[in-house]
């Protein structure tokens, strides 16, 4: 899902997800990831994509949850993220990310000076089905959103086994649960040229190796380098 940054000082914007069909650079990258139990289903299923803004040393937020280091994205980068959101058929949120997104995006298209891309993102956000995983929130939730209080990995595996458009996951804690269960099919990292030293890591601590294939790399005018990896099954 989803790392956040500020757009022109107005509110949170997405930083991840979906599929992009340009700039392919085939390669093989071996990364220190391990899927516990490797519970991968056979047959038709929807892809699960995890993507966020990341510092050069691998953090999605500085200590205290500070994400100001990302700054406002360029118009080109924002449009790229919008394209990813439009390709997604279902969005999975952890509680913290939901509480960041839900106060702003339902009405962001009504903000003075909203750009066409921001207006489209707000409309797409309202219309896209969403699932929020939390043991503390109370339902029902608005904006085409369902609340799940049970075991996150089990519900994510059930959703992933369905046929349909890709689904995206946002929030480090929720993504970590899916990562440990071997459920993430694609990783997208928008890497900013900044070192944080510590904070919330993009990758969770795992026990062994998983092989990833590098399927895209792209550099944006503001120095952000986008990379996409698929999990080799």
User: Under a CB-based contact definition with an 8 Å cutoff, are residues 93 and 1 in contact?
Assistant: yes
The tens digit of pLDDT for each residue in 91-129 reads 999 998 999 899 999 999 999 999 999 999 999 999 999
The full set of domains in the chain, from first to last, is: 5-231 (3.40.430.10)
Instruction: Mark out the alpha helices in the chain (DSSP H runs).
Output: 75-87, 95-101, 116-127, 152-160, 172-180
Looking at every residue in the chain, the average pLDDT score rounds to: 83
- Residue 210: pLDDT band (50, 70, 90) is confident
Angle at 29 between CA 86 and CA 229, to 5 degrees: 5
CA of 146: how far to CAs of 102, 127, 198, in Å? 13, 13, 33
Give the pLDDT score at 36.
41
Q: Which residue has the higher pLDDT, 210 or 16?
A: 210
Give CA–CA dist 225/162, Å, rounded.
32
Q: In the structure, what pLDDT confidence band is assigned to residue 44 with cuts at 50, 70 and 90? A: low
Q: Which of 37-41, 198-202, 210-214 has the lowest mean pLDDT?
A: 37-41
Condensed to tens digits (0 to 9), the pLDDT of residues 52-81 reads 999 999 999 999 989 999 888 899 999 999
Is the pLDDT at 6 greater than 80? The verdict is no
Higher pLDDT, 121 or 45: 121
pLDDT at 218 over 70: yes
Determine the Cα–Cα distance for residues 139 and 142; give it in Å rounded to an integer: 9
Q: How confident is the model at residue 150 (pLDDT cuts 50, 70, 90)?
A: confident
Per-residue pLDDT, averaged over 221-228, amounts to: 93
pLDDT at 60: 94
pTM of the model: 0.81
Q: How confident is the model at residue 12 (pLDDT cuts 50, 70, 90)?
A: low
Q: What is the pLDDT of residue 95?
A: 92
Terminal CA-CA length for the chain: 21
Question: Would you place residue 42 in the very low, low, confident or very high pLDDT band (cuts 50, 70, 90)?
Answer: very low
Quick check: 151 pLDDT over 80?
Answer: yes
Cβ 98 vs Cβ 2: under 8 Å: no
Structure tokens at 180: 């440990």
Percent of the chain with pLDDT over 90: 67
């Amino acid at each position: 899902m989803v790392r956040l940054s500020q757009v022109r000082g107005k509110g949170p914007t997405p930083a991840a997800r979906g599929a992009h069909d340009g700039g392919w650079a085939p390669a093989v990258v071996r990364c220190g990831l391990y899927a516990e139990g490797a519970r991968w289903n056979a047959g038709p299923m929807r892809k699960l994509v995890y993507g966020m803004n990341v510092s050069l040393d691998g953090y999605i937020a500085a200590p205290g949850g500070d994400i100001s280091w990302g700054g406002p994205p360029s118009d080109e980068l924002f449009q790229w993220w919008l394209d990813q959101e439009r390709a997604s058929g279902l969005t999975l949120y952890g509680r913290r990310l939901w509480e960041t997104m839900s106060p702003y995006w339902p009405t962001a298209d009504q903000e003075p000076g909203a750009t066409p891309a921001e207006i489209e993102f707000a409309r797409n956000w309202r219309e896209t089905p969403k699932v929020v995983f939390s043991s503390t929130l109370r339902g029902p939730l608005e904006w085409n959103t369902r609340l799940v209080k049970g075991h996150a990995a089990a519900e994510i595996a059930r959703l992933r086994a369905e046929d349909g458009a890709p689904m995206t996951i946002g929030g480090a804690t929720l993504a970590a649960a899916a990562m440990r269960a071997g459920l993430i099919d694609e990783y997208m990292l928008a890497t900013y040229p900044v070192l944080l030293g510590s904070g919330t890591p993009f990758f969770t601590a795992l026990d062994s190796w998983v092989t990833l294939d590098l399927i895209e790399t792209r550099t944006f005018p503001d120095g952000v380098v986008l990379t996409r990896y698929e999990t080799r099954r």
